[in-house]
Amino acid sequence: YGKNTIKFLRLHKEGKKHFVKEVEVCTHLRLTSAQEYLEGNNSLVIPTDTIKNIVLVLAKKNGIPSLEQFAIDICNHFMTTFCQVMYVKTYVQEVPWQRLHENGVPHIHSFICVPDGIRFCEAEQCRNGPLIVFAGIKDLKLMKTTQSGFEGFYKNEHTTLPERHDRILCGELFCKWSYGECKDFDFDCIWNKIRECILEAFSGPPDCGEYSASYQKTVNCIQMLVLSKVSQVQVIEVVLNNTFYNVLDMKNLGLTNDKEVLIPVEAPYGSCACTLGRKKFFEA
Amino acid sequence: YGKNTIKFLRLHKEGKKHFVKEVEVCTHLRLTSAQEYLEGNNSLVIPTDTIKNIVLVLAKKNGIPSLEQFAIDICNHFMTTFCQVMYVKTYVQEVPWQRLHENGVPHIHSFICVPDGIRFCEAEQCRNGPLIVFAGIKDLKLMKTTQSGFEGFYKNEHTTLPERHDRILCGELFCKWSYGECKDFDFDCIWNKIRECILEAFSGPPDCGEYSASYQKTVNCIQMLVLSKVSQVQVIEVVLNNTFYNVLDMKNLGLTNDKEVLIPVEAPYGSCACTLGRKKFFEA
Amino acid sequence: YGKNTIKFLRLHKEGKKHFVKEVEVCTHLRLTSAQEYLEGNNSLVIPTDTIKNIVLVLAKKNGIPSLEQFAIDICNHFMTTFCQVMYVKTYVQEVPWQRLHENGVPHIHSFICVPDGIRFCEAEQCRNGPLIVFAGIKDLKLMKTTQSGFEGFYKNEHTTLPERHDRILCGELFCKWSYGECKDFDFDCIWNKIRECILEAFSGPPDCGEYSASYQKTVNCIQMLVLSKVSQVQVIEVVLNNTFYNVLDMKNLGLTNDKEVLIPVEAPYGSCACTLGRKKFFEA
Amino acid sequence: YGKNTIKFLRLHKEGKKHFVKEVEVCTHLRLTSAQEYLEGNNSLVIPTDTIKNIVLVLAKKNGIPSLEQFAIDICNHFMTTFCQVMYVKTYVQEVPWQRLHENGVPHIHSFICVPDGIRFCEAEQCRNGPLIVFAGIKDLKLMKTTQSGFEGFYKNEHTTLPERHDRILCGELFCKWSYGECKDFDFDCIWNKIRECILEAFSGPPDCGEYSASYQKTVNCIQMLVLSKVSQVQVIEVVLNNTFYNVLDMKNLGLTNDKEVLIPVEAPYGSCACTLGRKKFFEA
């Protein structure tokens, strides 16, 4: 297969107001042929330069109404234009530009980059198969300073971890979900709703939180809430890359440390993932 | 000299409400002696492990009332405790955890990482000299999609840049300022005020913006506004690492591109910096 | 599933001579149960801390005779020790420390890091399935300054790429191959042989090189040479992330540039991959 | 001031043999004027685009005989061409392409990237001042597995570090030196000689090594050896960013660990630097 990544900015105006979308688009093609590998015959090869041009032309002509619609447009273009394309996948990721506000007033042409979770989507299609759309959020860093523990786990001679009922839960979330038949979805609205579900399931009620018995349980809570609140989601995958914080032992410095000073274990050395669908769940 | 970096999290509670500060502290020491280099005599050397312990003990005992106060405490400790220390500098940088809100209600123990400009500060002192405090913001990415140009510049046979009166202005800002005598400043409040000044000077009035004749002019506007509005600032340095966007020529694709599709020049290949003080002192 | 990454250094001595292996080991487990996700029942969960301990204990007891043998040992340990483990995968990557030489004499205890291609391996096993071993090299950056072109490709209205018969071919290689039944292989020796095949197939004879009609053709040459020369390899996957270099047009600077000054297109915006097996199986 | 970074590849041939230099050049200008900041008057401003063109034109015309000569050429060009330039500094860094060898035979046009220490140089000049040339090596990672300790250091109530006489010494070296009057130096030859001195001073004799009493002492040994062996070096700065390795305590796993398994402390939390000149040394 061949793969091509292009980053660009799409600007448009409504009256004096400016709108900006900066995206990174990665397009993946697999051809029906193998002669370019075996014989160096390039007659069916679509150069990455052409792929790039097509993405830019579509952006110019259609704009980027939503990341998902743009990915769908690209897939459709390749499938209908090139009969040698057997499979196409398009990944679109957004640079998180947000409109600046001054004392609550939105600015007509100034933006600030706020990377608190990156939005992305994917559309893929095999020749003669359905077009499938995924969307997701990544690099979303969250922390709970209490209401988290890990107890009652399996123990043997290699176990050194103590049981804890009040630890820090911190990690970087990756969530990706698939839509079923995508007819006229308001992708922006759904995405924002799912983001809210994730934050709510992670943190619990604002006045007291909700106890998490493990990273696994938190992952499951997120999946359950999204599936129950957002009917368009068919399957949801959640990966939580943990950052562990150890309460520093300060006894040899003559101090008792009551979960006040904690040291992050820099290398994110744990990760927990699960994929959950509508009917019967399956682990991944 | 010796340098030591330590990252940790300081947690405290007021009633049921949790407060979190995660910081990276880098401490720099220069000793009066040279014997450790020349003779391998370590008798005056303060191990990095000890430096780390001191930072953690101070965090445990005093908390982190503000980044600046914490840096001042560390400097003071080293100067008063170790007579072999000739110079100390402490740099403190914050992980941008923000309290989560659900439907406007603040959560008592959940946080999200929002890196839209990183806060840092520095305190430094030579033995027998004054303690000087700096503060700053870095990695602040801003964009204006109009009201920016670059014309009338110096030209010779190596000039290929066309004049432009409506380009994109985009870059990553670094600002660092020094305070004069720091008696009882509300460092948090001042820092927020300066951040607002930067955004305002960069973008101009929300309904129309303000024309910038160059990156240099924007840098100067920021400095002038901060110096005029925040009396505690003595000197302010601003560095703007530019991201250039080229309007893509789509003629060979049969299209006219009216500043709708732009390609970022990935390598941030320009930078513009200036330091401005209160009187008339101008240097770069 | 759960995942755990641990980085460590394994040191051993033969007489006065020191040997060092620094590795990053990532272990992946999938359990037969789902109760930890659904009910927060952790009784079968193996904490990442325990996984880490096991990896370290095995390194201490067995050493790291080769990356592959170490990965096999880890897989075997988890499969035989924990009946709740349904699937285990272990990835091992090496920090490329090389013994220092002074005037050709090897140093008994000093090493230099030389990252000209990173060695890694993987072992994986499903319960009741065979243990499969993979090995590979990644981050191997190669360049040919001639004997490379790209002509006769598919063209339509979105094609702007000119045909070229003398371009730069440059990229970062990733190769991963699987071994069949691994009985008493000399994994170090095989790995070195494959590395040599890759370099030879990429560059051609030292005195003249060999023309490459495309990235795809180069990928295929590498695969064919490895499969023909190394009988232990069953399937080989090659990914080539291209760096494009454009010959700079210097006409507007009054100069002709005969492929002397070239600008890299920073974003690695093309990639070409293929998996090739022994019989006739061809897939990408 | 203004700064501009440009990365490019310079190719040349001698008969059928190809030679390649890929460099990153960063040019720094300070002007005599301030009007571009204060008034937005750009009439003396040299656009970064022009700076870039000049660097490329010089590379095309002169080639890159050595990094240092190329940096000197650039400085000279700006000083003699633009009277509004008050100060110029040029930094040049090399991508470490090395010629491929097959069975000892050098390949005429194939190269491999071997980043075992990056070569760089700097030339700077103030108007009416001398042109000063620096050269250096960075990102050079070295390790000694024995013959290193740290004992007899300063102790107080915050000391927790135990004394050690057989630890791992590992770090990333940065060395930068200045040349005096640079008349017809063979910069390539000198650079290679200095690299050898660094390796030799770090590691000691190949059959036994040499004991290092501290990071500081190793830094000093490197400086002393370079100054004694390479007469063209006037001042040498060495920075050693340490990676610490802790011998893992395996007692709770029922094992004694005799410096066999060590864990790197990921965050490089110590650094030691010194600048040494010919006459009287001074610390920095």
Choose the weakest-confidence range: C169-173, D173-177, D280-284. Answer: D280-284
- Neighbouring residues of A2: CB distance < 8 A, sequence distance ≥ 6: A28, A29, A45, A46, A48, A51, C216, C270, C271, C272
pLDDT in tens, D191-244: 999 999 999 999 999 999 999 999 999 999 999 999 999 999 999 999 999 899
Cα of A245 to nearest chain D Cα, Å: 15
pLDDT in tens, B91-146: 999 999 999 999 999 999 999 999 999 999 999 999 999 999 999 999 999 999 99
pLDDT of residue B283: 40
pLDDT of residue A274: 80
A160/D contact by beta carbon, under 8 A: yes
Q: Which of these, A5, A85, A90, A91, lies nearest to A45 by C-alpha position?
A: A85
Q: Do residues A20 and B145 lie in contact, with contact meaning Cβ atoms separated by under 8 Å? A: yes
Q: Which of these, A207, A199, A223, lies nearest to A284 by C-alpha position?
A: A223
What average pLDDT is seen over chain C? 92
B267/A contact by beta carbon, under 8 A: no
Statement: residue A279 has pLDDT above 80: no
Statement: residue B281 has pLDDT above 50: no
Helix (H) or strand (E) holding A236: strand A233-247
Contact (CB<8Å) A11/B259: yes
Q: Which of these, B67, B59, B72, B23, lies nearest to B182 by C-alpha position?
A: B72
Q: How many CB atoms lie within 10 A of CB D181?
A: 11
In CATH, D2-129 is 3.10.270.10? yes
- Neighbouring residues of C120: CB distance < 8 A, sequence distance ≥ 6: C67, C91, C92, C93, C94, C135, C136, C137, C138
Q: Is B30 annotated as a binding residue?
A: no
How far is residue C10 CA from its own chain's centroid? 21
Q: Is B48 annotated as a binding residue?
A: yes
Binned at pLDDT 50, 70 and 90, residue B273 comes out as confident
Region C137-145: mean pLDDT is: 98
Dihedral sign for Cα atoms in the order A230, A232, A237, A243: negative
pLDDT of residue B270: 64
What average pLDDT is seen over chain A? 92
The DSSP annotation for D129-161 comes to S--EEEEEEEEEEEEESSSB-B-S----TT--P
Contacts of A252 in chain D (CB under 8 A): 160
Which of D16, D60, D109 faces C255 most closely, judged by CB atoms?
Answer: D60
Tokens of A179: 């839509």
Which residue has tokens 């840092």? B120
Report the residue of chain A nearest D263, measured CA to CA. A267
Q: Is A166 annotated as a binding residue?
A: no
pLDDT of residue A283: 40
Statement: residue A203 has pLDDT above 90: yes
pLDDT of residue A247: 95
Which of D30, D46, D272 faces B284 most closely, judged by CB atoms?
Answer: D30
- Return phi, psi of residue D150, to 5°: -155, 105
Q: Do residues D245 and D265 lie in contact, with contact meaning Cβ atoms separated by under 8 Å? A: yes
Contacts of A25 in chain C (CB under 8 A): none
Contact (CB<8Å) C206/D147: no
Region B29-40: mean pLDDT is: 86
Q: Do residues B136 and B121 lie in contact, with contact meaning Cβ atoms separated by under 8 Å? A: yes
Binned at pLDDT 50, 70 and 90, residue D280 comes out as very low
CA atoms within 13 A on the CB side of B126: 2
Q: Which of these, D91, D84, D92, lies nearest to D127 by C-alpha position?
A: D84
CA distance D209 to A8: 54
Report the residue of chain B nearest C157, measured CA to CA. B253
User: Can you name the residues that pair with B178 across neighbouring β-strands?
Assistant: B134, B235
Q: Which residues 240-259 on chain C approach chain A with CB closer than 8 angstroms?
A: 242
pLDDT of residue A282: 40
Cα of C203 to nearest chain D Cα, Å: 6
Contacts of A266 in chain D (CB under 8 A): 266-267
Tell me chain C's radius of gyration from C-alpha atoms: 23
Statement: residue B280 has pLDDT above 60: no
Statement: residue A214 has pLDDT above 50: yes
Per DSSP, D252 falls in state G
pLDDT of residue C140: 98
Which of A157, A253, A266 faces D267 most closely, judged by CB atoms?
Answer: A266
Region C116-120: mean pLDDT is: 98
Region D141-155: mean pLDDT is: 96
- Return phi, psi of residue B58, to 5°: -65, -40
Which residue has tokens 């590849």? D9
Choose from D248, D265, D266, D269 for mutation: most chain A CBs within 10 A. D266
Contacts of B282 in chain D (CB under 8 A): 34
Domain spans in chain D, listed from the N-terminal domain onward:
2-129, 142-281
CA distance B144 to B204: 10
Q: How many CB atoms lie within 10 A of CB D258?
A: 11
CA distance D157 to D141: 34
Contact (CB<8Å) D209/C107: yes
Helix (H) or strand (E) holding C199: helix C187-203
Contacts of C156 in chain B (CB under 8 A): none
Q: Do residues A3 and C271 lie in contact, with contact meaning Cβ atoms separated by under 8 Å? A: yes
* Dmax (CA) of chain D: 76
Residue B225's SS3 state is helix
How many helices (H) and strands (E) chain B has is answered by 5, 11
Q: Is D282 annotated as a binding residue?
A: no
Q: Is B167 annotated as a binding residue?
A: yes
- Return phi, psi of residue B216, to 5°: -60, -45
Contact (CB<8Å) D160/A266: no
Q: Which of these, C244, C168, B157, C253, lies nearest to D60 by C-alpha position?
A: C253
Contact (CB<8Å) A157/D267: no
CA distance C48 to A242: 11
Contacts of A20 in chain B (CB under 8 A): 143, 145
CA distance C40 to A37: 50
Report if pTM > 0.80. Answer: yes
Which residue has tokens 């040698």? A84
Per DSSP, B277 falls in state E
Q: Side chain identity at B26, as an amino acid letter? A: C
Which residue has tokens 């992946």? C28
Helix (H) or strand (E) holding D58: helix D48-62
Statement: residue C46 has pLDDT above 50: yes
Which residue has tokens 């993987």? C122
Tell me the residue ranges of DSSP E strands in chain C. Answer: 2-14, 17-31, 85-95, 97-102, 105-113, 118-126, 132-144, 169-179, 233-247, 261-277, 282-283
Report the residue of chain D nearest B155, measured CA to CA. D46
Q: Which of these, C206, C203, C193, C175, lies nearest to C273 by C-alpha position?
A: C175
Q: Do residues D259 and C11 lie in contact, with contact meaning Cβ atoms separated by under 8 Å? A: yes
pLDDT in tens, C123-132: 999 999 999 9
Report the residue of chain D nearest C141, measured CA to CA. D113
C148/A contact by beta carbon, under 8 A: no
Q: How many CB atoms lie within 10 A of CB B137?
A: 19
Contact (CB<8Å) A41/C159: no
Contacts of D266 in chain A (CB under 8 A): 266-267
| Domain C142-281, CATH | 3.10.270.10
- Neighbouring residues of D142: CB distance < 8 A, sequence distance ≥ 6: C100, C110, C111, C112, C113, D170, D171, D173, D199, D202, D203
CA distance B17 to C128: 51
Statement: residue D277 has pLDDT above 90: no
D157/A contact by beta carbon, under 8 A: yes
Percent of chain B with pLDDT over 90: 86
Q: Do residues D26 and D91 lie in contact, with contact meaning Cβ atoms separated by under 8 Å? A: yes
- Neighbouring residues of B85: CB distance < 8 A, sequence distance ≥ 6: B29, B30, B31, B32, B46, B78, B79, B127
Tokens of B260: 């709708």
Distances (CA, A) of D183 to B64, D133, D135, D180: 55, 11, 15, 9
Choose the weakest-confidence range: C36-50, C85-99, C200-214. Answer: C36-50
CA distance D120 to D98: 16
CA distance C182 to C232: 8
pLDDT in tens, B143-161: 999 999 999 999 999 999 9
Which residue has tokens 């003990």? B57
CA distance A215 to A196: 19
pLDDT of residue C284: 36
Q: Is D127 annotated as a binding residue?
A: no
pLDDT of residue A169: 95
Same fold? D2-129, D142-281: yes
Which of A38, A43, A213 faces C154 most closely, judged by CB atoms?
Answer: A43
CA distance A161 to C150: 57
Statement: residue C117 has pLDDT above 90: yes
Residue A52's SS3 state is helix
pLDDT of residue B268: 52
CA distance C274 to C284: 5
C9/A contact by beta carbon, under 8 A: no
pLDDT in tens, D40-75: 899 999 999 999 999 999 999 999 999 999 999 999
Distances (CA, A) of D32 to B35, D1, D82, D126: 44, 10, 11, 11
Helix (H) or strand (E) holding C36: helix C35-38
Helix (H) or strand (E) holding C202: helix C187-203
Q: How many CB atoms lie within 10 A of CB B14?
A: 8
